[in-house]
Amino acid sequence: MRSRTSLFTLFFAVSVLALPVAAHASIPFFGPVIPAAYNVCPASWGLLLTVVNNVIELLITLAIVFVAPIMIAYSGFLFVVNPVNASGKEQAKKILTNTIVGIVVALAGWMIVDAIMVVLYNPGAESGSTRLETWSNIIGSKGIEPCLPQKGALPGDDLNQSVSTGVSADGGKFLALPSNGNCTPSNLMAATAGSQYALTQSQANTLSCIAIPESSCGNNVSQARQPDGTPTSASGMFQIVFGSGNDTCHNLNIPACSEAAKVNGPLNCYSAFRGGLPRAGKEAEAAACKRAAANLNCNAQAAGCLVKGRNGGFGDWTADPRASTQKNCVTQYANK
């Protein structure tokens, strides 16, 4: 009896530790098994891996969300209907134990594989500075193309490979990259060149595309509001929201930004704003942050900083529910 109590305690502790980790990843996962963005192209190895992952995550989700509660309820049912029947109670205990063990084994197995694969995919990861994503996300963002290239398609153009899109000059992409204005890919690469946040061609293309819905490619836009109408501190071409995080990027703690704001030392924009407005007593710091954010070099490098912080991801611009164009930009230009 004592050993069983210890066993249950152990299971409970492991479950408590395991579930939040699983929740932080992509479990629970309810589909679709085949990503909607890629159901229009012939699958390649990358998409196959993603689908296999999705199937595993779906099965684990079903086990946790549906099977386990049903089995636990069933064991409880057996306990209730067998108040004096020793064999019935024993069967109920066995079902309960097996259910809990099954959940722990399934979750632990998934997490162990995920942890190993995520480390293998990120050999240069550093503690405290590298944000590791789940394995399936890494597969989709580390250069394994999800679609087979088609005959006649432009290089790297794995989607929209038909020729009937009507916009042929840019290879059939729905969202064309600007060739003039401040947010051209070449301007963004020039703005970040030589800094630690230098953009790759693919990242510059993606950000160039993103700059159109974010600010209409303008440097002077700072009136953005959240979906509920409250103001934000979003500023400049990439609408950097100072209050989003107390980190290098959102603080504009970047040499080019200090230079643009004409201040000595690093900026600390996170603490200069509250609720999208300058914090009382911090008006001068807030003004310096706005000044810096309006500068193309500063804003582009802050955007590069955010991309680098997300291991090449663009989640800072796609999280808003209104950001469908930004998501299309990522689909069309990221990792191309």
Partner 1 sequence: MKWYFIIGSILLLVGVVLFFLFSSSPEVVTTPQPTPGLPIASSTVPVTGGPSSFGTSNTGPTVSFATPSGAVVTVKDFVHNGETVADVQNPGSYVLAGSVGYCLADGTCPEGASTTDFNISYNEKTHFFNIILLSEPLGATRLAAEQFLAGRLGLTGKASCSLNYFVGTPYWVNEAYDSKNLGFSFCPGAIALPK
Write out the residues near partner 1 by the rule CB under 8 A: 30-33, 36, 39-40, 58, 62, 66-67, 70, 74, 77, 165-167, 169-170, 172, 174-182, 184-185, 212-225, 235-236, 239, 260, 262, 287-288, 290-296, 320, 322-326, 328
Among residues 289, 294, 259, 260, the alpha carbon closest in space to that of 276 is found at 289
Q: How far is the CB of 85 from partner 1 (least distance, A)?
A: 13
Q: How far is the CB of 9 from partner 1 (least distance, A)?
A: 28
Render the burial of 159-196: b for 16+ CB within 10 Å, e for the rest: bbbeeeeeeeeebbbebebeeeebbbbebbbebbeebe
CB count, 10 Å around CB of 260? 22
232: left (phi over 0), alpha (psi -120 to 50) or beta: beta
Closer CB to partner 1, 140 or 213, in the complex? 213
User: What is the Cβ-side half-sphere exposure of residue 48, based on CA atoms within 13 angstroms?
Assistant: 5
Q: How far is the CB of 83 from partner 1 (least distance, A)?
A: 16
Closer CB to partner 1, 121 or 320, in the complex? 320
Q: How far is the CB of 225 from partner 1 (least distance, A)?
A: 6
Q: How far is the CB of 215 from partner 1 (least distance, A)?
A: 6
Closer CB to partner 1, 59 or 117, in the complex? 59
Closer CB to partner 1, 173 or 308, in the complex? 173
User: What is the Cβ-side half-sphere exposure of residue 116, based on CA atoms within 13 angstroms?
Assistant: 5
Q: How far is the CB of 91 from partner 1 (least distance, A)?
A: 9
Closer CB to partner 1, 72 or 132, in the complex? 72
The enclosing H or E element of 278 equals: strand 277-278
The enclosing H or E element of 273 equals: strand 273-274
Closer CB to partner 1, 215 or 301, in the complex? 215
| Residue 64 vs residues 9, 181, 266: alpha-carbon distances, Å | 19, 52, 48
CB count, 10 Å around CB of 122? 16
Q: How far is the CB of 109 from partner 1 (least distance, A)?
A: 20
Closer CB to partner 1, 130 or 156, in the complex? 156
CB count, 10 Å around CB of 240? 27
Query: What residues are paired with 147 via a beta bridge?
Result: 43
Closer CB to partner 1, 146 or 308, in the complex? 146
Q: How far is the CB of 303 from partner 1 (least distance, A)?
A: 15
Distance between CA 101 and CA 103 in Å, rounded? 5
